Structure 1
Amino acid sequence: MDDRQPTLLIVDDTPENLSVLGESLQPYFRVRAANSGRRALQIARGTPTPDLILLDVMMPEMDGYQVLAELKAAEHTRRIPVIFVTAMDGTADEERGLDMGAVDYITKPIRPSIVLARVRTQLELKAARDLLSDQNAFLEAEVARRMHENQLIQQVSIHALARLAETRDPETGKHLRRTQEYVLTLARRLADHPRFSHYLDQKTIDALVQSAPLHDIGKVGIPDHVLLKPGKLTPDEWEIMKTHAELGCNAIAQAEADAEKPVGFLAIAKLIARSHHEKWDGSGYPDGLAGDDIPIAARLMALADVFDALTCKRIYKPAFSFDDAYRIIVDSRGQHFDPDVVDAFVHDIETFKTIARTYAE
């Protein structure tokens, strides 16, 4: 028997009817038979799955309508086309079967040529549906693959740019990964907070985490004698250092303008680069923003950046202990940092410590 032949399941409680159907169909198809609804369901759930079922309606114990209902209720069998074969010829009965999902309705006594024609028609339709489904599945998989590939390229590009900035400041090693994780921790904690929930949906959180490594991209434009100075900066040097926020924002804004269409994470990256040194009380830079005028993304980045700066050794200072860093941030609640962001930090301090240890230098 040709393995490519469609498999038909014929169901009828009368042996004579099974015999007539079988003789009509077996020259062209692989035919399996069941003399009850229960047996039909067993075969339909087995292997190979029937390509088409010819189902008698009037059967004892379990009629055709009940069999069809169970077929449609199961994921494995719901797509098998079913043709009702019955002695009933009432319009209401036919409508009921079609409404339940049967694809056709053949009345007894059967005429082999009619049965064969209708079976072939339904098998052709099924083959077309299966082909379309396979093509759709392939296209969906291909779209998902390309989106993943684009996201990977985007992430690699972001990290390449951020690490370019780090080559100017070699002591920050795993700073990018730590600050990403700190920002993600804060965002997840605040996602349901009434002051932040309108902004921190999953899409925005993903973009926020993706853009976080670009917060100090503007340091590329800071001269070495300022950026790498081991001691305290002079007032003039400090003014130069502060320009990295605007330099970074402007660079990202230019990239945004060069893009053919809006890129969501660049808009967030631009906010972070410019405003992550703003302070809740308005004493930060470059714009002296205060309170809710500071973008939410920048408020989260500000705390993440400061915690990392405090707990890591830099050329101008030793590392602080976790306890000292914790105290400094808590003491800055409502001054440097948004009070609710500090509260989120306090709630997740152990997570911050774990991140710091996991991605230690």
Structure 2
Amino acid sequence: MDHYPSKPVVLVVDDEPSSLQVINELLREHYQVRVAASGEHALQIIDQTIPDLILLDIVMPGLNGHEVCRRLKGNSKTCDVPVLFLSASNQDIDECLGLALGAADYLSKPINPPVLLARVQTQMRLKVAVDLLRSQKSFLDQEILARTRELQATHDVTILALASLAETRDNETGNHLRRTQHYVRVLAENLRHHPRFSAHLDEKSIELICKSAPLHDIGKVGISDQILLKPGRLEADEFEIMKTHAQLGYQALVHAEELLGEQVPFLRIAKEIALCHHEKWDGSGYPNGLAGDAIPVSARLMAIADVYDAIISRRVYKLSKSHNTAANVIYDGAGRHFDPDMVEAFRGLEDEFDQIAQRYADSAPYEPLRTSGG
């Protein structure tokens, strides 16, 4: 267990024994005094125990005071220890150099006892105040970090809870959310330095896109069970109603943003994905028939992730298909359904998509597939 002295520690460094004796006698009533007759000895003492304050002679054999101070201020462990220079020289250049090196004060020899004691007391009070502020700042930093993590965790749980609500109504699973989130991440990371996407896919943007991805189908909460859970193929009018989930999700997120009273980067991305992830590269998608680069990058990423996962997953209205089948659908959709450069990136990430699908495979079996309906 470390021993903490009851009195602050002052290290006096001077090659003159008489100076060491005088200063020791002056300070020992108030402080625990340690002495060193050279710069080298001083550094050895400091390596073992860091003092609260150092009185440092400038002119000494071997390492002079300026060099000792330079080393102390260059060390993160000792840079905050106040140093008071002692010197018999009255040259301004010595004082200026000492202060430039980070010394807190400069005292001339011969020592004036009341002045020395007053200067030491002043520096000790300052050090106590600085240490207290530093301790409080550290505590506040930790509190802020803890609160930030708590808020972020609450934020993430809220997103997943909202998204899970939509997925549960659609007879899908939470693992669909996790899979699509991971697909989007690996695809975005791969395209991060691509000249077409680098401006849209920095680290912060990728994180926002990945966090927003689970909300892509939040609008399905507004679709009736009769259509959402229909076991067979949807009729044309039913499909038109189903397509409105993109606009419904977007409007719900717009409303959430209006309630907050300010624009939020996360919700901006979430709105893009919810509204546009069914748009197609050739303009044949919905709800707005956007084409090419008019479709937000986030939604283009989500389109590939969502289609791939829909194909490999079993639903109440269909059986699951293989990874190869899903990959071929993605390839066939290049330039029509999907951004061709994103499809090219997917080509090199096929194995990773397959691994994600297996890692987060649905564990609970579906009920037997119903065959009624068109």
Shorter-chain TM-score bucket reads: over 0.9
**For residues 191 and 234 of structure 1, what CA distance do their matches in structure 2 show?**
40
**For residues 4 and 239 of structure 1, what CA distance do their matches in structure 2 show?**
80
Quote the residue 1:63 is aligned against: 64
Quote the residue 1:228 is aligned against: 229
Map Cα deviations across residues 265-301 of structure 1 (whole Å, 9 max, x no partner).
Answer: 1111111000000010111111110000001110011
Give the aligned CA root-mean-square deviation in angstroms: 1.4
Are the counterparts in 1 of residues 171 and 229 from structure 2 also a CA contact under 8 Å? no
Amino acid at match of 2:321: F
Following TM superposition, by how much is the alpha carbon of 1:186 offset from its aligned partner in structure 2, in angstroms? 1.3
Quote the residue 2:47 is aligned against: 45
Map Cα deviations across residues 232-274 of structure 1 (whole Å, 9 max, x no partner).
Answer: 1111111111111011111111111111322211111111000
Bigger Cα displacement from structure 2, 35-44 vs 102-111: 35-44
Q: Pairwise mapping of residues 172-183 of structure 1 onto structure 2 (< 5 A)?
A: 172-183=173-184
The one of 15, 18, 26 aligned to 2:17: 15
**For residues 36 and 255 of structure 2, what CA distance do their matches in structure 1 show?**
71
The answer to whether the aligner puts 1:199 opposite 2:200 as a matched pair is yes
SS of equivalent to 1:106: strand
Are the counterparts in 1 of residues 171 and 315 from structure 2 also a CA contact under 8 Å? no
Are the counterparts in 2 of residues 94 and 105 from structure 1 also a CA contact under 8 Å? yes
Cα distance 1:331–1:2, how it changes in 2: closer, same or farther (>3 A)?
Answer: closer
Quote the residue 2:111 is aligned against: 110
Map Cα deviations across residues 195-222 of structure 1 (whole Å, 9 max, x no partner).
Answer: 1111212222111111111100011111
Quote the residue 1:82 is aligned against: 83
**For residues 269 and 333 of structure 1, what CA distance do their matches in structure 2 show?**
24
**For residues 79 and 11 of structure 1, what CA distance do their matches in structure 2 show?**
18
**For residues 25 and 223 of structure 1, what CA distance do their matches in structure 2 show?**
85
Are the counterparts in 2 of residues 231 and 316 from structure 1 also a CA contact under 8 Å? yes
Show structure 1 runs of 5+ residues with no match. none
Show structure 2 runs of 5+ residues with no match. 363-374
**For residues 277 and 200 of structure 1, what CA distance do their matches in structure 2 show?**
20
Q: Pairwise mapping of residues 121-270 of structure 1 onto structure 2 (< 5 A)?
A: 121-270=122-271
Map Cα deviations across residues 86-136 of structure 1 (whole Å, 9 max, x no partner).
Answer: 111111111110011111111111122211110010111111111222222
Map Cα deviations across residues 57-93 of structure 1 (whole Å, 9 max, x no partner).
Answer: 1111110111011101111011111000111111111
Amino acid at match of 1:40: A
**For residues 44 and 348 of structure 2, what CA distance do their matches in structure 1 show?**
55
**For residues 81 and 348 of structure 2, what CA distance do their matches in structure 1 show?**
54
Q: Pairwise mapping of residues 259-338 of structure 1 onto structure 2 (< 5 A)?
A: 259-338=260-339
Are the counterparts in 1 of residues 283 and 291 from structure 2 also a CA contact under 8 Å? yes
Are the counterparts in 2 of residues 45 and 77 from structure 1 also a CA contact under 8 Å? no
Cα distance 1:38–1:340, how it changes in 2: closer, same or farther (>3 A)?
Answer: same
Cα distance 1:59–1:143, how it changes in 2: closer, same or farther (>3 A)?
Answer: same
Following TM superposition, by how much is the alpha carbon of 1:46 offset from its aligned partner in structure 2, in angstroms? 2.2
The answer to whether the aligner puts 1:26 opposite 2:52 as a matched pair is no
Are the counterparts in 2 of residues 211 and 265 from structure 1 also a CA contact under 8 Å? yes
**For residues 353 and 308 of structure 2, what CA distance do their matches in structure 1 show?**
9
SS of equivalent to 1:170: coil
SS of equivalent to 1:128: helix
**For residues 262 and 18 of structure 1, what CA distance do their matches in structure 2 show?**
66
SS of equivalent to 1:10: strand
Are the counterparts in 1 of residues 269 and 298 from structure 2 also a CA contact under 8 Å? yes
Following TM superposition, by how much is the alpha carbon of 1:167 offset from its aligned partner in structure 2, in angstroms? 2.0
